[in-house]
Chains A and B, each alone.
Chain A
């Protein structure tokens, strides 16, 4: 039976205390939102969430990648193909982007469930990720947060099976972003809620309950998208949902993470639900979409998985609003970073395995692991006899480091290391770590990040971050 066989999440560890927005002193434990830092975007968050989801699994099982987001650097050029390369998936994986609406995340999940039911794919990876920009000082700014969530959908050994789904469509100009505009806009709040959000969400939930001949009380977890905390309460009241079944919408912790929002709450619900619990998830945008699941088991595969809960506890606080603005490129710069011609497309193409997939090679003659891939072995001088080896899901160890104050960075210094990965030496930046905590021998894991922007195009590569000492959440 089609269902969700694994899931993972990514919430950027960087949190902006909402007090910074109001110019008030920051209090420990006060409201905050998760923000993608300057080297993160919807694609990097998607890769990290998918890595969390696929932890401990053989990635060769993945037949398809559906990427849902309203924020991706290219109008024309697919993100799912880039993500598939970064994850080192099979060459014959089918890929598609879902975009345009805030409910694209649930739409992609529904599409994947349909595809595996149709039996021409056994496992499809669905990733919802968003990094929406609110204009500084706007009402939306405090509500928006950034996050990503990934589901592996398949027929065998699901942890939750799909029961039913329902969708409604509506034309309404309530929340939008047009071509070339970096910022999301919203019409007057009462109009958005009274004519858009509340009636559409009530309609889709009601329709789902009728289809499944169930009552809202039959669901142990009810995960509802909402533009903000007040609308969430208003919808819960209107539906008559009990407080204990309502999935915490994570306002004041993560924020409204757009396309990823309803899927993130679904992942949260899957973490918290017990076996046999039923879960209802509903998303909004140009209409609404709802799905109901029954949790049947816990994830059986080994491997460490942080999920939503684990990522919520990994956090660091932004020191000032100014730092946040710099990290989001919201302050004027003397030099336009996009003015240069950027990385050669042919270089990018030739080096996609190494740079996007962090793949090195193992010499078939002397067995030494090395990076990058090269024709002649640096150890035994064998020529052209290598296996390609993925390094991104291994652990490394810092050999040496420096703190670079010269390289553009909203939060200097840039920590630069030489990292040993099972004998291969790789020059890598280190993130999510302070200079004080940087030391020779520090174990690191690897995250996909932006490393540079040129010619209006982002360039991606891998960076190290301190390995999670706990191992699993």
Chain B
């Protein structure tokens, strides 16, 4: 590992996190949700005068047409840099990464990161069919992410029964998270009875698209102890872009390349050489159940092809060796695209500080917490790894 790749490790701390309740927030504007999330993060970071203390803002949203002003106007943070980042489902993680880099570079001491989205104002359940060209129709995320199913199932013998266990787990975990959207256990029978969206994905294989906002306050690592006794350090943050898998020659449709590439980069930064041992909790992008399954392998939590054995053994359940999506994940906590990466950081900070209530993973303080987003066709992946000092 070179000094360059290790460069970001332990330079920046997260000193406060916040998250609004995710859901179909009919009565909340984007501004309302941004204020909920940011002011919770301010309080957590001991920031009493944000207009004085927040020196820069990095915000991310996929659906807004208002640019960074939507966030700066909501929080009345003017006369300072406010930047908007857009990178599909990796938007939140990328906004966090930009903030971390700006602090690590010594530009600012205290920076606010805000991810948010308001898809439920668009009047459709799930993304509409986009009409900017004929070539990729039908342009549904379920259709894109299901393209690994036929190939993976044929090669490794997995199937919908394995996907069902992921959905059942995430529905269970969602019942334990106060701010999650869906708080309902599902059974294997519920899973099997649900209508098919894009084979092999039925309704319960698909994340709940919701409104939401999440925020984090970050600062220089050497200042963090002035604010709190239990600051969380940024061990790694990576973004990787990949080719559109639909036109990528030679793609084997057994994994998503950007996840493996982003993991390689992040593990080099964080000094991870045995992910399954060193990582104690993970928030993994479960836009669809199969995305979570493939990520177990692409993130090195288990060998390629072995996910179904680990699913059967409960490795990734609360109480398992490496709990994944402790707050219900995109599936039940909700998926406001730009907010999701920051929401995962919120959950990992709570876990590392022992503040995750009924879903707390025991003994995680001495280990690392990973969050992962993958988005586009998928064509972009972001990973953040946090840990205590």
Contact = CB atoms under 8 A, between A and B. Distances in A.
A38 interface: no
A378 B249 contact: yes
Given A372-B247, A379-B249, A406-B197, A440 B137 contact: no
Interface string A455-471: 00001110000000000
A303 B92 CA distance: 55
A423 B140 CA distance: 25
A370 interface: yes
B138 A414 contact: yes
A404 B197 CA distance: 6
Given A402-B149, A440-B150, A440-B154, A407 B140 contact: yes
B247 A427 contact: yes
Given A418-B246, A425-B249, A402 B133 contact: no
Interface string B154-197: 10000000000000000000000000000000000000000111
A427 B140 CA distance: 13
Given A425-B248, A425-B249, A427-B246, A404 B134 contact: no
B134 to A, nearest CB: 4
Interface in A371-423: 371-372, 378-379, 399-408, 413-414, 416, 418, 423
9 contacts: A343-B134, A372-B135, A378-B247, A404-B197, A405-B198, A406-B126, A429-B138, A452-B137, A460-B134
A362 interface: no
B129 interface: yes
A452 B362 CA distance: 53
Contacts of A400: 147-151, 253
A310 B76 CA distance: 72
Given A340-B131, A461-B137, A406 B142 contact: yes
Q: Which of B197, B198, B248 has the most CB of A within 10 A?
A: B198
A63 interface: no
Contacts of A399: 151, 251, 253
B143 interface: yes
Nearest to B136: A427
A473 B315 CA distance: 57
A370 B129 CA distance: 26
Contacts of A379: 249
A369 to B, nearest CB: 9
B209 to A, nearest CB: 13
A424 interface: yes
A472 to B, nearest CB: 31
A122 B196 CA distance: 54
The 10 tightest CB contacts between A and B, nearest first, are A407-B138, A403-B199, A402-B146, A427-B246, A461-B134, A404-B198, A400-B253, A425-B247, A400-B151, A404-B143
Contacts of B81: none
B48 interface: no
Given A378-B247, A401-B150, 7 more contacts: A347-B132, A351-B134, A399-B251, A402-B142, A406-B126, A406-B138, A413-B199
Given A400-B148, A414-B138, A418-B246, A351 B133 contact: yes
Contact of A402 (B132, B134, B137, B147): B147
B134 A403 contact: no
B243 interface: yes
A326 interface: no
A443 interface: no
Main SS of the interface on chain B?
A: loop
B257 to A, nearest CB: 13
Nearest to B128: A340
B285 to A, nearest CB: 19
Nearest to A420: B249
A425 B251 contact: yes
A174 B366 CA distance: 88
Interface string B244-265: 0111110101000000000000
Q: Which of A342, A401, A426, A454 has the most CB of B within 10 A?
A: A401
A146 to B, nearest CB: 23
Contacts of A452: 131, 134, 137
A286 interface: no
A371 B133 CA distance: 15
B26 to A, nearest CB: 22
A447 to B, nearest CB: 15
B195 A405 contact: yes
A353 interface: no
A309 interface: no
Given A405-B195, A418-B147, A451 B247 contact: no
Given A402-B149, A440-B154, A343 B197 contact: no
Nearest to A350: B133
A219 to B, nearest CB: 47
A379 B135 CA distance: 21
Nearest to B137: A451
A406 B143 contact: yes
A372 B132 CA distance: 15
Nearest to B140: A406
Nearest to B126: A406
A32 interface: no
Contacts of B133: 343, 347, 351, 355
Contacts of A418: 147, 245-246, 251, 253
Contacts of B253: 399-400, 418
A336 to B, nearest CB: 14
A344 B130 CA distance: 12
Nearest to A347: B133
